[in-house]
Amino acid sequence: MSSKQNLDKLRFFEEAHKKALRASTALVWIGGAALLFCALLITMDVISRKFFGFSMKGTDEISGYIFSVTTAWAFSYCVLNRNNIRIDAIYRFLNIRYKILLDIVGCLSLLIFVSFLMTGAFKALLESIAKGTISSTGLSVPIWIPQSLWVFGITILFLSLLFQLLYSLVLVVNADYKGVSRIAGIPSTTELIKSETSKNSN
Protein backbone atom coordinates (compact mmCIF):
# COMPACT_ATOMS: atom_id res chain seq x y z
CA MET A 1 0.00 0.00 0.00
CA SER A 2 1.36 3.43 -0.99
CA SER A 3 2.07 6.20 1.48
CA LYS A 4 -0.76 8.25 -0.07
CA GLN A 5 -3.25 5.42 0.56
CA ASN A 6 -2.02 5.11 4.14
CA LEU A 7 -2.43 8.85 4.62
CA ASP A 8 -5.95 8.78 3.17
CA LYS A 9 -6.90 5.90 5.46
CA LEU A 10 -5.54 7.72 8.52
CA ARG A 11 -7.43 10.86 7.56
CA PHE A 12 -10.62 8.84 7.16
CA PHE A 13 -10.28 7.33 10.64
CA GLU A 14 -9.34 10.69 12.15
CA GLU A 15 -12.45 12.34 10.72
CA ALA A 16 -14.61 9.39 11.74
CA HIS A 17 -13.20 9.60 15.26
CA LYS A 18 -14.09 13.29 15.50
CA LYS A 19 -17.63 12.59 14.29
CA ALA A 20 -17.99 9.71 16.75
CA LEU A 21 -16.87 11.99 19.59
CA ARG A 22 -19.43 14.63 18.58
CA ALA A 23 -22.20 12.02 18.33
CA SER A 24 -21.36 10.53 21.74
CA THR A 25 -21.27 14.01 23.26
CA ALA A 26 -24.73 14.71 21.84
CA LEU A 27 -26.04 11.50 23.44
CA VAL A 28 -24.57 12.56 26.79
CA TRP A 29 -26.26 15.96 26.56
CA ILE A 30 -29.59 14.34 25.72
CA GLY A 31 -29.10 11.98 28.65
CA GLY A 32 -28.26 14.87 30.93
CA ALA A 33 -31.44 16.68 29.90
CA ALA A 34 -33.44 13.50 30.56
CA LEU A 35 -31.91 13.16 34.04
CA LEU A 36 -32.71 16.81 34.76
CA PHE A 37 -36.32 16.13 33.75
CA CYS A 38 -36.27 13.10 36.04
CA ALA A 39 -35.01 15.24 38.95
CA LEU A 40 -37.76 17.81 38.36
CA LEU A 41 -40.36 15.04 38.20
CA ILE A 42 -39.20 13.60 41.52
CA THR A 43 -39.15 17.08 43.08
CA MET A 44 -42.73 17.70 41.96
CA ASP A 45 -43.75 14.31 43.36
CA VAL A 46 -42.18 15.09 46.76
CA ILE A 47 -43.86 18.51 46.90
CA SER A 48 -47.25 17.09 45.92
CA ARG A 49 -46.98 14.46 48.66
CA LYS A 50 -45.94 16.99 51.29
CA PHE A 51 -48.39 19.79 50.60
CA PHE A 52 -51.26 18.31 48.61
CA GLY A 53 -51.48 14.76 49.96
CA PHE A 54 -51.22 12.86 46.68
CA SER A 55 -48.46 11.15 44.72
CA MET A 56 -47.76 11.34 41.01
CA LYS A 57 -48.23 7.89 39.53
CA GLY A 58 -45.23 6.17 37.96
CA THR A 59 -42.48 8.58 38.99
CA ASP A 60 -40.22 5.81 40.28
CA GLU A 61 -40.83 3.68 37.20
CA ILE A 62 -40.10 6.50 34.76
CA SER A 63 -36.97 7.41 36.74
CA GLY A 64 -35.74 3.83 36.52
CA TYR A 65 -36.20 3.74 32.76
CA ILE A 66 -34.46 7.09 32.30
CA PHE A 67 -31.52 6.08 34.49
CA SER A 68 -31.01 2.79 32.63
CA VAL A 69 -31.22 4.38 29.19
CA THR A 70 -29.02 7.40 29.92
CA THR A 71 -26.39 5.19 31.53
CA ALA A 72 -26.23 3.02 28.39
CA TRP A 73 -26.06 6.12 26.18
CA ALA A 74 -23.09 7.46 28.17
CA PHE A 75 -20.95 4.32 27.74
CA SER A 76 -19.72 5.23 24.24
CA TYR A 77 -18.69 8.70 25.43
CA CYS A 78 -16.64 7.14 28.24
CA VAL A 79 -14.91 4.73 25.87
CA LEU A 80 -14.13 7.26 23.13
CA ASN A 81 -12.82 9.78 25.68
CA ARG A 82 -10.88 7.03 27.51
CA ASN A 83 -12.78 7.62 30.75
CA ASN A 84 -13.49 3.94 31.39
CA ILE A 85 -11.74 2.58 34.47
CA ARG A 86 -8.57 0.55 33.90
CA ILE A 87 -6.01 -0.68 36.42
CA ASP A 88 -2.69 1.01 35.64
CA ALA A 89 -0.47 -0.01 38.57
CA ILE A 90 2.00 -1.73 36.21
CA TYR A 91 0.95 -0.11 32.93
CA ARG A 92 2.66 3.23 33.60
CA PHE A 93 6.04 1.54 34.10
CA LEU A 94 6.02 -0.32 30.77
CA ASN A 95 7.59 0.86 27.53
CA ILE A 96 5.37 2.11 24.71
CA ARG A 97 5.19 -1.21 22.82
CA TYR A 98 3.90 -3.16 25.82
CA LYS A 99 1.45 -0.38 26.60
CA ILE A 100 0.07 -0.57 23.07
CA LEU A 101 -0.26 -4.35 23.36
CA LEU A 102 -2.25 -3.98 26.60
CA ASP A 103 -4.38 -1.23 25.07
CA ILE A 104 -5.38 -3.45 22.16
CA VAL A 105 -5.94 -6.51 24.36
CA GLY A 106 -8.06 -4.41 26.72
CA CYS A 107 -10.12 -3.00 23.86
CA LEU A 108 -10.60 -6.45 22.32
CA SER A 109 -11.59 -7.99 25.68
CA LEU A 110 -14.18 -5.29 26.32
CA LEU A 111 -15.49 -5.64 22.78
CA ILE A 112 -16.00 -9.39 23.25
CA PHE A 113 -17.80 -8.83 26.56
CA VAL A 114 -20.06 -6.15 25.08
CA SER A 115 -20.85 -8.38 22.08
CA PHE A 116 -22.32 -10.98 24.48
CA LEU A 117 -24.17 -8.23 26.34
CA MET A 118 -25.58 -6.83 23.09
CA THR A 119 -26.65 -10.29 21.90
CA GLY A 120 -28.51 -10.91 25.16
CA ALA A 121 -30.07 -7.45 25.03
CA PHE A 122 -31.39 -8.02 21.50
CA LYS A 123 -32.80 -11.42 22.48
CA ALA A 124 -34.62 -9.86 25.44
CA LEU A 125 -35.96 -7.06 23.25
CA LEU A 126 -37.24 -9.44 20.57
CA GLU A 127 -38.85 -11.61 23.24
CA SER A 128 -40.63 -8.57 24.74
CA ILE A 129 -41.91 -7.57 21.31
CA ALA A 130 -43.07 -11.10 20.47
CA LYS A 131 -44.90 -11.54 23.79
CA GLY A 132 -46.20 -7.98 23.97
CA THR A 133 -44.84 -7.67 27.51
CA ILE A 134 -45.97 -4.67 29.55
CA SER A 135 -44.82 -3.45 32.95
CA SER A 136 -46.79 -4.75 35.93
CA THR A 137 -47.44 -1.23 37.21
CA GLY A 138 -50.12 1.41 36.92
CA LEU A 139 -48.49 2.87 33.81
CA SER A 140 -48.55 -0.46 31.93
CA VAL A 141 -45.64 0.59 29.73
CA PRO A 142 -44.84 -1.72 26.78
CA ILE A 143 -41.43 -3.00 27.86
CA TRP A 144 -40.02 -2.88 24.32
CA ILE A 145 -40.03 0.94 24.38
CA PRO A 146 -37.46 1.49 27.18
CA GLN A 147 -35.68 -1.72 26.19
CA SER A 148 -35.15 -0.53 22.61
CA LEU A 149 -33.62 2.73 23.85
CA TRP A 150 -31.34 0.76 26.19
CA VAL A 151 -30.34 -1.66 23.40
CA PHE A 152 -29.56 1.34 21.19
CA GLY A 153 -27.05 2.57 23.78
CA ILE A 154 -25.41 -0.86 24.07
CA THR A 155 -25.20 -1.13 20.27
CA ILE A 156 -23.53 2.29 20.03
CA LEU A 157 -21.05 1.14 22.69
CA PHE A 158 -20.26 -1.98 20.64
CA LEU A 159 -19.74 0.06 17.46
CA SER A 160 -17.55 2.55 19.35
CA LEU A 161 -15.33 -0.23 20.68
CA LEU A 162 -15.12 -1.88 17.25
CA PHE A 163 -14.12 1.44 15.69
CA GLN A 164 -11.58 2.10 18.45
CA LEU A 165 -10.00 -1.32 17.89
CA LEU A 166 -9.83 -0.95 14.10
CA TYR A 167 -8.41 2.58 14.37
CA SER A 168 -5.78 1.38 16.84
CA LEU A 169 -4.73 -1.48 14.57
CA VAL A 170 -4.40 0.90 11.61
CA LEU A 171 -2.19 3.16 13.72
CA VAL A 172 -0.06 0.19 14.81
CA VAL A 173 0.45 -0.84 11.18
CA ASN A 174 1.65 2.71 10.51
CA ALA A 175 3.92 2.59 13.60
CA ASP A 176 2.04 5.53 15.15
CA TYR A 177 2.26 4.30 18.74
CA LYS A 178 1.55 7.70 20.26
CA GLY A 179 -1.61 7.79 18.18
CA VAL A 180 -2.74 4.48 19.67
CA SER A 181 -2.18 5.86 23.16
CA ARG A 182 -4.20 8.93 22.22
CA ILE A 183 -7.10 6.81 20.93
CA ALA A 184 -7.18 3.78 23.23
CA GLY A 185 -4.54 4.23 25.94
CA ILE A 186 -4.86 5.21 29.57
CA PRO A 187 -4.61 9.00 29.88
CA SER A 188 -1.36 10.16 31.44
CA THR A 189 -1.29 12.37 34.52
CA THR A 190 -0.31 15.30 32.30
CA GLU A 191 -3.29 14.67 30.03
CA LEU A 192 -5.66 14.48 32.99
CA ILE A 193 -4.36 17.74 34.45
CA LYS A 194 -4.60 19.45 31.06
CA SER A 195 -8.16 18.17 30.61
CA GLU A 196 -9.29 19.40 34.02
CA THR A 197 -7.63 22.80 33.68
CA SER A 198 -9.19 23.31 30.25
CA LYS A 199 -12.61 22.55 31.74
CA ASN A 200 -12.08 25.01 34.56
CA SER A 201 -10.87 27.74 32.18
CA ASN A 202 -14.03 27.31 30.12
pLDDT in tens, 46-85: 898 888 877 777 888 889 999 999 999 999 999 999 888 7
Is residue 150 very low, low, confident or very high in pLDDT (cuts 50, 70, 90)? very high
Measured between alpha carbons, how far apart are the two ends of the chain, in Å?
43
Mean pLDDT of 115-132: 95
State residue 202's pLDDT score. Answer: 57
How many domains does the structure of the chain reveal?
Answer: 1
| Of 179, 180, 160, nearest in space to 24 by CA | 160
Mean pLDDT of 144-166: 96
Mean pLDDT of 154-167: 96
Check residues 188 and 32 and name the one with the higher pLDDT: 32
State residue 6's pLDDT score. Answer: 75
State residue 1's pLDDT score. Answer: 53
Q: How far apart are CA 70 and CA 26, in angstroms?
A: 12
| DSSP string computed for 57-107 | TTHHHHHHHHHHHHHHHHHHHHHHTT-S----TTGGGS-HHHHHHHHHHHH
- Considering 5-9, 84-88, 158-162, the range whose residues carry the highest mean pLDDT is 158-162
Model pTM score: 0.88
Amino acid found at 195: S
Give the residue numbers spanning the domain of 106: 3-201
